[in-house]
Every structure is written in structure tokens, then in C-alpha cells.
Amino acid sequence: MEGKMPLLGDKFPELEVQTTHGKMKLPGAFAGKWFILFSHPADFTPVCTTEFVAFQKRYEKFKELGCELIGLSIDQVFSHIKWVQWIKEALDVEIKFPVIADDTGKVATALGIIHPGKGTNTVRAVFVVDPEARIRVILYYPQEIGRNMDEILRIVKVLQISDSEGVAVPANWPENELIGDEVIIPPALDEETAAKRTKEYDCFDWWFCHKKR
């Protein structure tokens, strides 16, 4: 439904967008890759500027994980281009990822990220999309609060670990208060497996077992 925020597990909607790197088709432009689409309220604003610098400072780390970045706001492409130029000239940081110019609001409406009560501003949303174009994580921040890019980077890492190893990942990984950098074995689904668990792994109980990677 147009204007309804997609849900976890939904396919990322097919969209043709104008960016600072030219026209692109999403999610096809990142086929076979992870990507993060993040929206910001407006160009030439302080919190958004700190976020763009923070994302760029970690861009190579995202790319090492096979993950691309793409920004978005309801500004014209001319504004995006000038803002990116200003960041390079004033702050000595070159923004290397594309930024969607959604001046019609079409993309923001499709993703359900127009900020209620803030005119046409987009909220600070983050969509983490996997190589199958499935939306795996959605983060949603108010206009006044800047995001933690290290947590977004951690999200991509742990999703990849969970997918490839069939495990769950604890709070604050890799510095969890109970099991450090270990990972959690999915709960047993039958009595026989539950009885074996405490013999096969380190466990607090049969339903809470963990292991080193």
C-alpha cells in the first residue's frame, strides 16, 4: 500500500530514482549486494551533516562487508550536489555514495517515511536490505537525534553471521555481558534435542546454549 512503511521481510519496492550519481533503479542497482538506504530530513542542516560525515568515515568498512550506502531526502539534486561539495570543501570529507533527490516525495511516500507534523521532511529512517532485496532491519529516529553508525555497521555484520552460521547474536555483541563474543544456538524444538544440548554446548539451561565461532 502506498505510504505504508514496508515490514521486515518485505521485498524492497522497485523504484527509479535520481541521485547525485545519476539515475538508478532500486533495488536492481545493488543486485546481489547488501545495501543501506538511509533518509535524512534536509540538506544543509547540522545533525544531517554529522551523519553524512560519519557514514563516509565508515564507507570502506561497509564495502568490506559487501554493503553499499545510498542516502535520501526531499531535496532537489542541485541541493544535494552543492551540499556534498560544501562538505568536501569545508570539512575535507568526500561523500562517495549516491544521494537520492526525492523532491517529488515519491520515494519517501513509497517507504512511508514522511515525518508526521514536520511538513514534507523525511524522518531519519534506515533500511538494511539483503542480497535478495529483502528488508531485514528498519530503524526509525526522530529529527532531533543523530544515528549511531557503528551500530548500523554492527547490524550488517551480525545479520551476515546469523545467515551464514545459523545462529543468533546476543545483546551488545561482541561485548555481551554474559557470553562475550560467543553466539547463541537456536532453541531446541523437541525433547530429544533439548536433552542433548547441555552435553554438546556450554549452556545456562537447555534453551540458552552458546558457543565460540
Confidence tier at 105 by pLDDT (50, 70, 90):
confident
Classify residue 29 as left (phi > 0), alpha (psi -120 to 50) or beta. alpha
Is the confidence at residue 132, as pLDDT, over 50?
A: yes
Q: Is the dihedral of CA 49, 51, 52, 56 positive or negative?
A: positive
Both 185 and 97 in one domain: the answer is no
Give the per-residue pLDDT at 1. Answer: 37
Confidence tier at 115 by pLDDT (50, 70, 90):
low
CA–CA separation, 177 vs 138, rounded Å?
25
E strand residue ranges, the chain: 15-19, 22-26, 34-39, 67-73, 99-101, 124-129, 135-141, 183-184, 202-205, 208-211
User: Would residue 209 show up in a list of annotated catalytic residues for this protein?
Assistant: no
More confident residue, 74 or 155: 155
State percent of the chain over pLDDT 90: 83
Q: Is residue 2 included in any domain, yes or no? A: no
Give the per-residue pLDDT at 100. Answer: 97
Is the confidence at residue 139, as pLDDT, over 80?
A: yes
**Residue 171 belongs to what domain range?**
166-213
Query: Is the CB of residue 58 less than 8 Å from the CB of residue 150?
Result: yes
Rounded-to-5 percentages of helix, strand, coil across the chain: 30, 25, 40
Give the per-residue pLDDT at 119. Answer: 57
Q: What is the pTM of this model?
A: 0.92
Q: Is residue 61 included in any domain, yes or no? A: yes
Give the per-residue pLDDT at 117. Answer: 63
CA–CA separation, 159 vs 180, rounded Å?
18
**Partners of 37 in the beta sheet?**
70, 127
Both 67 and 38 in one domain: the answer is yes
Give the per-residue pLDDT at 123. Answer: 82
Both 170 and 119 in one domain: the answer is no
Is the confidence at residue 10, as pLDDT, over 60?
A: yes
**Nearest alpha-carbon partner for 100 in 128, 85, 79:** 79
Q: Is residue 154 included in any domain, yes or no? A: no
Give the per-residue pLDDT at 143. Answer: 84
Give the per-residue pLDDT at 114. Answer: 78
Where does residue 195 rank: exposed (0-12), middle (13-18), buried (19+ CB within 10 A)? exposed
Is the confidence at residue 2, as pLDDT, over 50?
A: no
pLDDT tens track for 18-47: 999 999 999 999 999 999 999 998 999 999
How wide is the angle at C-alpha 16 spanned by C-alphas 93 and 39, nearest 5°? 45
Catalytic site residue from 48, 67, 203, 209: 48
Query: What is the average pLDDT across 69-81?
Result: 95
pLDDT tens track for 191-203: 999 999 999 999 9
**Nearest alpha-carbon partner for 139 in 130, 169, 148, 9:** 148
Of 120, 147, 174, the last residue of a domain is 147
Q: Per the structure, how many domains does the chain have?
A: 2
